[in-house]
Amino acid sequence: MKKIAVIGAGTMGNGIAHVFAQNGYKTNLIDISQDSLERGMATINKNLDRMVAKEIITEKEKENTIKNLNQYTDLAQGVKSVDLVVEAATEDTDLKIKIFTDLDRLCDADTILATNTSSISITQIAAATNRAGKVIGMHFMNPVPIMQLVEIIRGYNTTNEVTQTIMDLSKKLGKTPTEVNDYPGFVANRILMPMINEAIETLYNNVAGVSEIDTVMKLGMAHPMGPLQLADFIGLDVCLSILKVMYDGFKNPKYAPCPLLINMVRAGKLGVKSGEGFYDYSESRKAEKVSKQFS
């Protein structure tokens, strides 16, 4: 593989594009919004500058990474003659199915189509194409340039050859790929989201406050951050979306989202990205403090 396309210039998309470009792949970053592309590129530049300052990479390696990146608002142009497409759009089933229907029509027959979904069925997405054997999940973790894990999710029809190709590719990116099967939430979120939801239930039931719940999990369970802070970082809307997918998929009440989470999302309190969630990030000093934890 030499040429990659990444759809979506948001938090996950720009991180995925960054990693591919840094590892020598010609990478097309695609988004319907030019403003989103510019914000995504600004984030990549900022993260590369941080890596240069920490002597993780050289200035020349930063320059080469930027040279490997191209921006497109036109999907057809962006996916032309690429070997792999990684979709990192919003966690919405209908949107992803629409994107994969278009990709199947626009991409070369040999192009592998991957999705960064954290919970939606790979088999369902693949069914929207005429190449189900070439559709696979690549669930990167946030922040992508730092986190080592990539969940590789096989759909019902994903071939062994495609799975091995993506496993090998992930290793070339310096990641640790882990193969899992296609069930709601896969492994990471099937375990993580019920824990986050239970922490929210604990708060909802007035067992303890936000900082107290997070302190118990950090000091008592050796978690690097508490579940409520982690939920803020992921995005409460994303957490809610994943829980809904798992609840719909399993019909098990243990995956039902806590009413407090639902109300917070309705109120626009989404965590770091909205300036307020379980913690207040509205002051620049506080936002900077949280950001430094992931630098």
118 annotated to bind ligand: yes
Any known ligand binding at 70? no
Which residue is catalytic, options 151, 170, 197, 276?
A: 151
Residue 117 labelled as part of a binding site: no
Selected catalytic residue, list 189, 197, 241, 274: 189
11 is in an annotated binding site: yes
Strand 135-140's sheet: what is its strand order?
69-72, 26-30, 3-7, 84-87, 112-115, 135-140, 149-154, 176-181
Any known ligand binding at 31?
A: yes
Token readout for 235 is 């995005």
The tokens 């080592």 sit on which residue? 148
Nearest Cα to Cα of residue 180 among 203, 149, 210: 149
- Contact criterion met (CB below 8 Å) for 241 and 89: no
96 in a known ligand binding site? yes
- Active-site residue (options: 68, 116, 119, 139): 139
Asked whether residue 8 is marked as a ligand-binding residue, the answer is yes
Neighbours of 14 (CB within 10 A): 27
Annotated binding-site residue? 280: no
Was 226 annotated as part of a binding site? no
Is 104 labeled as ligand-binding? Answer: no
| Cα→Cα distances 232→71, 201, 214, 228, 237, Å | 29, 15, 12, 6, 9
Of these residues, 47, 68, 118, 241, which one is catalytic? 118
Question: Is 139 a residue of the active site?
Answer: yes
* One-letter amino acid for residue 222 of the chain: A
Is 118 catalytic? The answer is yes
Is 43 annotated as ligand-binding?
no
Determine the Cα–Cα distance for residues 131 and 84; give it in Å rounded to an integer: 13
- In this structure, the dihedral spanned by the alpha carbons of residues 248, 251, 256 and 262, taken in order and rounded to 10 degrees, is 30
What's the CA gap between 55 and 183, in Å, rounded?
Answer: 40
d(CA 122, CA 164): 16
Q: Is 237 one of the annotated binding-site residues? A: no
Give me the active site residues, please.
118, 139, 151, 189
Q: Binding site for NAD(+): what residues are annotated?
A: 8-13, 31, 91, 96, 118, 142, 273
Q: Binding site: what residues are annotated?
A: 8-13, 31, 91, 96, 118, 142, 273
